[in-house]
Amino acid sequence: MTKSNSNTLFGISIAFFVLGLFCFLTFWLMYLGFGLMILGTILCLLSKKKWFYQVLLIGLPFGFVAFTFLNAMEIPERYLLPEDFRGVVYVVFDQENGKEKEYEGIHRVYRIPESGILFTQFSQNEEVYSFQEFFFVNSNGKRKELGELDYRHFNTPNTINPRATEPPRDSLVVFNQRTIGRILAKDEQNYYNYKALTIGKYNEIEKWDYLDPEKIGKAKKEQLKE
């Protein structure tokens, strides 16, 4: 291959990578972007340029794509709850004096106390994808996994288009585990960033994903004493 042809192929491959990255960043053209980057890779390899230039041209765009996906992935979370817990759970983030960060493998671990309110040093895990596990833990440390439901799966008197079928209303499960929010603390100066969920049976739940700021403040004082 002549030097001129090699440079031409290499230049075209650069153009494909640039266009491919642009399409990838628009998100809705992401698959087209991948296709253009693959074509760019093929042309780059056919150009017979020195391996250093090929590695640089191919590695940087694909490295950026990999970094973007990894950055968008939410770190898996594992909630460990007292065996007899029923009610609303709050995980309050970015607490300097909160519970230290804990992991099991790649999973974050949230050990929920009897109050249902955990103050943790973790920052809020609010990226695109969500992987969560929920377990009751008995006094011997044995775990029992909980299922998950959304309260919108059930019909109510105000439901416009009732479902033909709905889940059993006596199932003990986790509800609304994707709820996130920000609440003003009792001192009206600070805010709590939190994740909330509700544990119980649909027919028995009185409050959904909400706790009074006064109760949160009281739980924080108790946890700091430990």
3-state secondary structure of 188: coil
Q: 141 and 211, same structural domain? A: yes
Residues 6+ apart with CB under 8 A from 202: 149, 151, 154, 167, 169, 170, 171, 175
Range of the domain at 191: 77-225
Count of domains for the chain: 2
What single string gives the DSSP state of each residue in 27-68? STTHHHHHHHHHHHHHHHHHTT--HHHHHHHHHHHHHHHHHH
Instruction: Please identify, among 44, 72, 100, the residue that sits at the C-terminal boundary of a domain.
Output: 72
Q: 116 and 188, same structural domain? A: yes
Cα distance between the two ends of the chain: 73
Predicted confidence at residue 187, as pLDDT, reads: 66
Q: 98 and 179, same structural domain? A: yes
Predicted confidence at residue 186, as pLDDT, reads: 67
Token representation of residue 38 = 């693959």
Q: 142 and 106, same structural domain? A: yes
Residues 6+ apart with CB under 8 A from 16: 36, 37, 39, 40, 43
Instruction: Please identify, among 32, 57, 72, the residue that sits at the C-terminal boundary of a domain.
Output: 72
Q: 101 and 192, same structural domain? A: yes
Predicted confidence at residue 54, as pLDDT, reads: 86
Q: 57 and 87, same structural domain? A: no
pTM: 0.65
Q: 87 and 171, same structural domain? A: yes
Instruction: Please identify, among 43, 72, 101, the residue that sits at the C-terminal boundary of a domain.
Output: 72
Q: Which residues of 114-141 are buried (b: 16+ CB within 10 A; e: fewer)?
A: ebbbbbbebeebeeeeeebbbebbeeee
Predicted confidence at residue 128, as pLDDT, reads: 38
Q: 87 and 22, same structural domain? A: no
3-state secondary structure of 82: strand
Q: 124 and 195, same structural domain? A: yes
Q: 192 and 140, same structural domain? A: yes
Taking the alpha carbons of 104, 106, 107, 108 in that order, is the dihedral positive or negative? positive
Q: 99 and 9, same structural domain? A: no
Predicted confidence at residue 129, as pLDDT, reads: 46
Q: 62 and 83, same structural domain? A: no
- Encode the chain (226 residues) as per-residue pLDDT tens digits: 677 778 888 888 889 889 988 888 877 788 888 888 899 899 888 888 888 888 888 998 888 888 877 666 677 889 999 998 998 898 999 888 888 999 998 889 999 999 899 999 998 876 534 688 999 999 899 999 988 877 777 767 677 777 777 677 777 888 877 777 777 776 667 778 888 888 888 777 766 666 777 777 777 777 766 5
Strands (E), 74-184: 77-82, 87-92, 103-104, 107-111, 117-119, 132-137, 143-145, 148-149, 173-184
